[in-house]
Structure 1
Amino acid sequence: MLPLRLALADLRGELRMTLCQVLAVAAILTPLLVLAGLRAGAVEGMRAAVLEDPLAREVMSLASREFSQDWLAALAARPEVLHLSPRTRQLAATLLLETPDGARQVWAPVVPSSPGDPLLPGGAPVAATQVVLSAPLAARLGLKAGDEVVGRLGRGERGAAPERLRVALTVQEVAPITASDRDAIFAAPALADALEDWSEFRAGMPAEAGAPPRAAPRTGYAGFRLYTKRLEDVPPLVTALRAAGIETRSRAQDIAPMLAIDAALGRLLLAIAAVAGSGLVLSLGAGLWANVERKRGLLAGLRLMGLGRGGVVLMPVAQAAALALAGALLAAGLALAVQAGINAGLGGVLLDRPLSLLGAGTIGRGIGITLLAAIGASALAAWQAARIEPYEAVRGG
């Protein structure tokens, strides 16, 4: 601990010079932290808002075609896919919902949903007689969770009397508005399959009134909707599906510019940090080297009194770390003060959230990188100190 105490005592002995070096470190690091906070607020905040909307990560097939069970399973197993739900033919699975008193009726498409569906944080329907209604549809029908509702569907062949299907359903939950801003009935795959099979004459009338028909064994589906794990996964997945001849609907065109801006800002911040960091290393390194040269005689005297070579080497390293830590803490305080001013003046004006978001993680990384850079900057001074020999104090060197 002796070299550390001597290093800190030396800094206290030349307090003005020490304060100048601390301010120099803070002057370099403060703008970088402010820029990092602005990037986090403007881009990462936008990114987080988009990620909160699962529809931003949705990829849905357009044209109806036969997708086999094995092909869909392989698509769902891709590492970038979080969830996949097969889709039935929309025209064959559009249901007329009716309140028990018959006062309100609304046609709405049936959307198959399985457990883990990001659109339904409260859980997808499990039983074939349970449905989750979109918020607009529930409002139009005046329904809430736990209410009963009747589903009606008709079919007919030329020259034959039309048949009417009536299914008694229970509203399991009302989906959040983020799930769909249109009328939609989220149903278990068993119900969606049964309705499509009945509509296309692959299933007969159920034996029990109000019960859904029995679905026939399936070999595939007409479409799918899937959700990626990350926002960055949407554009390449859409490109891969298009290369396979599958047209999809997604927000890839909206996501790509945001990702490009994020990457460009990241590269710009990295370039600025590299230039500023180089200046910090050169400035701090030159100051420490000059300090060792200026006090070469005193360091030689310490060697003569028994301080080892390692102790002398440790002194400029300890001083560099102390200066960097003090400067980084000052920079963090200044950056937080600037952030408060930016958010007070512009937050909620340019964006509907804080314009600058400087978190503890960013500050911690900034302090850590500054410490490493300062220790690296002390290498020349440490090397110079290692060359000091005890006899230099005797000859007055």
Structure 2
Amino acid sequence: MRIALVASLAWQDYRADVRLSACTVLALVAVIAPLLVLFGLKFGLISSLTQRLERDPAVREVIPMGGGRFGAEFVDQLAQRPDVAFALPRTRQIAATADLALLAQGQVVNVEMIPTAVGDPLLGDLSPPTEPDHVLLSRTAAEKLGAKAGDWLDATFTRQVAGRPQAQRTRLQITGVLELEAFGRDALFAPMTLLEAVEDYRDGRAVNAFGWPGDVGAANAPRVFPAFRLYARSLDDVEPLRLYFASQQLSVATQAQTIAQVKSLSRNLSLVFWIIAALAVLGAVAAVLAGALATVERKRRELSVLRLLGFSTGALLLFVVLQALYSASLATAASFALYALAERGLNHLFMQVPGEYASYLLPAHYCVALLAIFAASGLAAALGGWRVARIEASEGIRNV
């Protein structure tokens, strides 16, 4: 089969029927371009919502409800689970507070103390403090104090012993300030050793590391934590963790419902898209099929002459299929160009957060669309053009 010759003849004939060819191309563009825009909106919307959830550590947080009794070993076991990204014990909330002030100023801000360590998703690019006198500050607390990284704070911890108020002060250095999006309340992020020391002091225990007086005999008592900080490794791990804690008779609060809503939206939009796409593709295939049938009937004389010149049935069928692929190629290029314009306009109108898109397609999507268009057009043209097998060379003799 002289493929190059057939391709050249098909192209010359395609160009000669420019009006009919243009109508075929426009018909395909009318199907392909809206589908690309629809899928781009679906993929861009769901991707943006999913990325927004993934970027927000609070969505992956699992919060124990009520007062519990957890040992350090239990929390360590949680941290080793493959579906857990970060886990750390928490001291009693009533004992995890501090009064902070800059050394040179009188402004005092009461903050909650939160334990942190390596892998804390709230810290972002900040390194966690490792020394007991090094801390991170939330953005709101830093703004109220007028503090910045490198400043020294005067931290005051109070307690009551036999009805008499007592207080201890220590100096803490700020090693960094969290972004407002990471944590929106007044807080101090510190190593676990500082929070345990403050809890011991408020429980009347002695804290030798800071030289705080107290009951030495109670210092070696096993520590029990009422809660923990835990973050799932991914959005898909939140619900399994909730079920795990439920099986352990532990009540936890999660954002599993929010995650489920986004997944449900994705499934529903996918269903709508594929229904519309199936109907549109069926219409496009029917149009190409009808076009191929019309081509065979309209060019029956020319095809019979080619048969007379020795072209086989396969060559004649290739002639019809190639013309359909020419239309598919031009329609695909035009549709991609129209989608690019629509994508830019939609993102300009609806994009609210940098890095997010209202409409977006990956390179893989373009490749899949291209292959699907070519496959559908080629198959439809082959089915419609199979009537060339009935064309006899004698028809070419009569038409010469």
Which TM-score band applies after superposition, normalised by the shorter structure?
A: 0.7 to 0.9
- 1:321 corresponds in structure 2 to 325
1:130/1:380 CA distance change after superposition, 3 Å: same
Question: How far apart are residue 277 of structure 1 and its match?
Answer: 1.1
- 1:176 corresponds in structure 2 to 179
- 2:6 corresponds in structure 1 to 3
- 2:31 corresponds in structure 1 to 28
**SS of the counterpart of 1:7?**
helix
Question: How far apart are residue 143 of structure 1 and its match?
Answer: 0.9
- 2:148 corresponds in structure 1 to 144
Question: How far apart are residue 174 of structure 1 and its match?
Answer: 0.5
1:335 to 319, 339, 354: 339
1:392/1:241 CA distance change after superposition, 3 Å: farther
1:110/1:319 CA distance change after superposition, 3 Å: same
1:54 to 57, 70, 88: 57
**SS of the counterpart of 2:99?**
strand
**2:293 is equivalent to residue 292 of structure 1:** no
1:292/1:201 CA distance change after superposition, 3 Å: farther
Question: How far apart are residue 281 of structure 1 and its match?
Answer: 1.4
Distance in 1 between residues matched to 2:241 and 2:306, nearest whole Å: 67
1:130 to 131, 134, 137: 134
CA contact (8 A) 1:113 1:124 kept: yes
**2:107 is equivalent to residue 104 of structure 1:** yes
Question: How far apart are residue 27 of structure 1 and its match?
Answer: 0.5
Distance in 1 between residues matched to 2:345 and 2:101, nearest whole Å: 55
Distance in 1 between residues matched to 2:371 and 2:63, nearest whole Å: 44
Distance in 2 between residues matched to 1:69 and 1:317, nearest whole Å: 71
Query: RMSD over aligned Cα, in angstroms?
Result: 3.5
Distance in 1 between residues matched to 2:336 and 2:302, nearest whole Å: 35
- The residue type paired with residue 45 of structure 1 is S
1:320/1:216 CA distance change after superposition, 3 Å: farther
Post-superposition Cα deviations, 1:85-140, rounded to whole Å, max 9, x if no partner, equal 33222222222223223613222221111222221112322332211100111112
Distance in 1 between residues matched to 2:318 and 2:233, nearest whole Å: 48
CA contact (8 A) 1:202 1:216 kept: no
Post-superposition Cα deviations, 1:178-210, rounded to whole Å, max 9, x if no partner, equal 12111111112333333334443565333668x
Post-superposition Cα deviations, 1:319-376, rounded to whole Å, max 9, x if no partner, equal 33322221122223333444555566x547xx67898424454555433432232233
- 2:272 corresponds in structure 1 to 268
Question: How far apart are residue 82 of structure 1 and its match?
Answer: 3.1
**SS of the counterpart of 2:13?**
helix
1:380/1:166 CA distance change after superposition, 3 Å: same
Question: How far apart are residue 26 of structure 1 and its match?
Answer: 0.5
**SS of the counterpart of 1:333?**
helix
**2:336 is equivalent to residue 357 of structure 1:** no
CA contact (8 A) 1:116 1:123 kept: no
- The residue type paired with residue 13 of structure 1 is A
Distance in 2 between residues matched to 1:126 and 1:136, nearest whole Å: 23
1:59/1:130 CA distance change after superposition, 3 Å: same
Question: How far apart are residue 257 of structure 1 and its match?
Answer: 3.2
- The residue type paired with residue 84 of structure 1 is A
Task: Give the percent of matched residue pairs that are identical in Structure 1 and Structure 2.
Answer: 32
CA contact (8 A) 1:110 1:187 kept: yes
Distance in 1 between residues matched to 2:398 and 2:118, nearest whole Å: 82
Trace 1:135-284 onto structure 2 (pairs within 5 A): 135-155=139-159, 157-158=161-162, 164-201=167-204, 204-206=207-209, 221-235=225-239, 237-284=241-288
**2:119 is equivalent to residue 116 of structure 1:** yes
Post-superposition Cα deviations, 1:265-291, rounded to whole Å, max 9, x if no partner, equal 221111111111111112112312432
Distance in 2 between residues matched to 1:176 and 1:158, nearest whole Å: 41
Question: How far apart are residue 30 of structure 1 and its match?
Answer: 1.9
CA contact (8 A) 1:165 1:205 kept: no
Question: How far apart are residue 216 of structure 1 and its match?
Answer: 6.5
Distance in 1 between residues matched to 2:395 and 2:220, nearest whole Å: 98
**SS of the counterpart of 1:378?**
helix
**SS of the counterpart of 1:123?**
coil
- The residue type paired with residue 188 of structure 2 is I
TM normalised by structure 1 equals 0.82
Moved more, 170-179 or 314-323: 314-323
Question: How far apart are residue 391 of structure 1 and its match?
Answer: 4.9
TM normalised by structure 2 equals 0.81
- 2:370 corresponds in structure 1 to 367
CA contact (8 A) 1:3 1:314 kept: yes
- 1:45 corresponds in structure 2 to 48
**SS of the counterpart of 2:282?**
helix
User: How many residue pairs were aligned?
Assistant: 388
**2:87 is equivalent to residue 66 of structure 1:** no
CA contact (8 A) 2:118 2:127 kept: yes
Question: How far apart are residue 306 of structure 1 and its match?
Answer: 4.9
What are structure 2's unaligned runs of at least 5 residues?
A: none
